[in-house]
């Protein structure tokens, strides 16, 4: 059954902008992206919104709905009360381009700073063999759809623009963890660079990244904290450091 809902949409660009109220029809089962499209089709023809798959798998329609970073295509209108106004804004951690579209290129720059998987020299392509039990930890992190909601909610950069140059963010900590836990990756310095170049130490594990992840990746428990512990192994644990020097078993 269709009903009218109150929507507040932020409209503007980098120079200025404001929230604009609009009433729009919402049908049963629709998501917030549906009603934004209806507003675009009927009332605001120039409303800018980024979207693609409408199935929670492309990560394009990331925005903030009633202040929470969410995918608009996975947020049911029915999850809000009949009289409740749904406020929709662009991601507040990134520069705005127009309306609900932000410039997320920061994330692609950070992605380029992380060395790719390094294949062992002694294994020719096609010769690599790995057991499932050795790769399943990393597979959880491969579920990432790069919606950057975790980056958006992380207060290290959301609340401190100046930290962007030295902090990669949770999305890239799971990338580093994925590679450091990879059974065949030959790069040995990922822990050290995670701490010294990508800003792992700036994370104070308040778990907001985990809370907003639409893929339910346990970013903090399964990637960031294990990486922090691995950093402790090489930087803050004299016993482990001595053991690794004597037995030379860093990559066990």
Q: By CB under 8 A, name the binding residues for other proteins.
A: 10, 12, 14, 16-19, 64, 66-69, 84, 87, 89-90, 92-96, 102, 131, 133-134, 152-153, 155-156, 158-163, 181-183, 199, 201-208, 211-212, 221, 225-226, 228-233, 235-237, 251-252
Taking the complex as a whole, the smallest distance from the CB of residue 68 to other proteins amounts, in Å, to 6
Residue 19 C-beta: closest distance to other proteins, Å: 7
Least distance (Å) from other proteins to the CB of residue 24? 19
Instruction: In angstroms, give the least distance from the CB of 134 to other proteins.
Output: 5
Pure H helices in 90-231: 105-112, 132-141, 149-153, 155-158, 170-180, 190-196, 208-212, 225-231
Among residues 22 and 203, whose Cβ is nearest to other proteins? Answer: 203
Least distance in Å: CB of 215 to other proteins?
17
Minimum distance between the CB of residue 190 and other proteins, rounded to whole angstroms?
11
Closest C-alpha to 66, from 55, 81, 53, 54: 81
- Number of C-alpha atoms within 13 angstroms, CB side, residue 132? 0
b (16+ CB within 10 A) / e for 178-213: bbbbbeebeeeebbebbbeebbbebbeeebbbbebb
Can you tell me the distance from the alpha carbon of 97 to that of 100, in angstroms, rounded to the nearest whole number?
8
Distance CA 143, CA 146 (A): 9
User: What is the dihedral sign for C-alpha 53, 54, 59, 60?
Assistant: positive
């Amino acid at each position: 059954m269709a009903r009218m809902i109150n929507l507040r949409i932020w409209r503007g660009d980098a120079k200025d902008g404001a929230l604009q109220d609009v009433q729009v029809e919402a049908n049963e089962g629709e998501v917030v992206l549906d009603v934004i499209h209806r507003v675009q089709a009927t009332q605001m023809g120039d409303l800018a919104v980024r979207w693609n798959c409408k199935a929670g798998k492309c990560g394009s329609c990331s925005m903030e709905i009633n202040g929470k970073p969410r995918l608009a295509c996975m947020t049911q209108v029915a999850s809000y009360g009949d009289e409740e106004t749904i406020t929709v804004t662009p991601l507040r951690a990134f520069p705005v381009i127009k309306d609900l579209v932000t410039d997320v290129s920061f994330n692609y720059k950070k992605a380029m700073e992380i060395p790719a998987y390094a294949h062992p020299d002694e294994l020719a392509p096609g010769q690599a063999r790995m057991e499932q039990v050795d790769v399943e930890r990393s597979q959880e992190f491969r579920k990432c759809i790069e919606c950057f909601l975790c980056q958006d909610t992380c207060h290290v950069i959301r609340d401190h623009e100046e930290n962007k140059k030295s902090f990669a963010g949770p999305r890239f900590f799971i990338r580093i963890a994925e590679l450091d836990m990879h059974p065949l990756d030959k790069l040995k310095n990922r822990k050290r660079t995670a701490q010294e170049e990508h800003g792992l130490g700036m994370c104070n594990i308040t778990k907001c990244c985990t809370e907003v992840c639409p893929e339910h990746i346990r970013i903090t428990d399964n990637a960031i904290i294990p990486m922090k512990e691995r950093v402790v192994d090489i930087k803050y644990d004299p016993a482990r450091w001595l053991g690794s020097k004597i037995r030379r078993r860093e990559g066990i």
